[in-house]
Amino acid sequence: MRAYSQLDLLSKTLGLLGKSRISSGYGIINDPRYVSLNIRTPHYDLLRGRQCIKDIAEILGDEMDLSFTVESLFVLLYADFIRQIRNGANLLELAKILMHGKRYFKKMDTPVEAELVSKNSFVLVREERPNRARRENQLVDVPIRIHKDEAERGEYLLYDMEELYPEFDMTVEELISIRYREFMKAVKSGNMDVVKAVIANVKRSRRYV
């Protein structure tokens, strides 16, 4: 079985069950309640997200917990995804949407430059050259903390999606990254409905990591 996150919680759990340790629950008494994940996203999107949090804070005022950060936004968007599943969202359709997002952003992140080979034609080459757009889009890893149960639940869901859609190939970290980048894409395009939905979630939830 492949790993569905950096933590590979599902394989560890199945390994414990395989050793007839079902009665011990998760089996690791001293494990912390929260786990850390590194989420990869463009540097500009990270900075833009921080500004977005400031904007939301201005709108909500005292209704918003001061501990809410852009890292909290990653967690909130992941929690919203889990909530969609609990509310009966179609796993197959979600799997297709997520894979479309993964392919789209992978294409966006692939460095392709045009090299002049004659006065009248260009040829695409796989050569990365520094430019303003590439510097702004440099990928960075953002550490976040989520509840271990939620991380493991995500791995189970990804496994289920893979069974329904064999082309599906994703980790929890990639899922969170796609959710965040889709959100930032909507913000940059001026889609206020997405921002309003996040504001509603922030007002509803008072627990952040």
Q: What is the pLDDT along the chain (209 residues), one digit of tens a residue?
A: 677 787 777 777 776 544 443 333 334 334 578 899 999 999 999 999 999 999 888 888 888 888 889 999 999 999 999 998 989 999 999 999 999 999 999 888 876 555 545 545 555 444 444 445 555 578 999 999 999 999 999 999 999 999 999 999 999 999 999 999 999 999 999 888 888 888 888 877 655 44
The closest alpha carbon to 174, from 192, 162, 164, belongs to: 162
Q: How many CB atoms lie within 10 A of CB 95?
A: 22
Looking at residue 67, its amino acid is S
The C-alpha angle with vertex 8 and arms to 7 and 13, in degrees rounded to 5, equals 115
Give which of 142, 138, 153 is closest to 72, Cα–Cα. Answer: 142
Tell whether the torsion through CA atoms of 170, 106, 140 and 191 is positive or negative: negative
**Considering the entire predicted model, what is its pTM?**
0.77
